[in-house]
Structure 1
């Protein structure tokens, strides 16, 4: 039960709001990007550029979420 043990210990971390927002923006950006690429619409460029910008903004949220979950031991904080 190695996988069951790994999944049992997974948690979103201290900043779950940033995680949820990043996942939501990833989904919206990917849908807009693929819709702009695959659908034959007259405003396809707007969808492609908007999807790419949303994906770039979600990358910032991923970086914030990861940075907030870094743990430093107290021994390393003593200078």
Structure 2
């Protein structure tokens, strides 16, 4: 094994759009959550709840990305 190839190649698979949306929602949700926690604003509770809801919603995109990238060989399918 070559030293440059220790971790293999990075592939996003067939559903790069779901990966991008999930990553974007994670970043936005985490930013809103941390701003709601650490900033002294009057509407901190709105930011905390919105950030956590966005993080929970991003799980749907992570699940969709994972399940749509699963590959099953034709031999294993009973067609």
Give me the TM-score of the superposition, normalised by structure 2.
0.91
2:45 maps to 1:45: yes
Query: Cα deviation per residue 1:20-39 (whole Å; 9 max; x = unaligned)?
Result: 00000000000000000001
Q: What stretches of structure 2 of length at least 5 have no aligned partner?
A: none
Alignment of 1:1-79 (within 5 A): 1-2=2-3, 4-6=4-6, 9-78=9-78
> How many residue pairs were aligned?
78
Unaligned runs of 5+ in 1: none
Q: Secondary structure at the match of 1:42?
A: coil
Instruction: Name segments (4+ residues, structure 1) moved above 2 Å.
Output: none
The CA RMSD measured in Å over matched residues stands at 1.4
Measure how far apart 1:10 and its partner are: 1.3
Secondary structure of the structure 1 residue equivalent to 2:37: helix
Structure 2 distance, partners of 1:12, 1:6, is 18
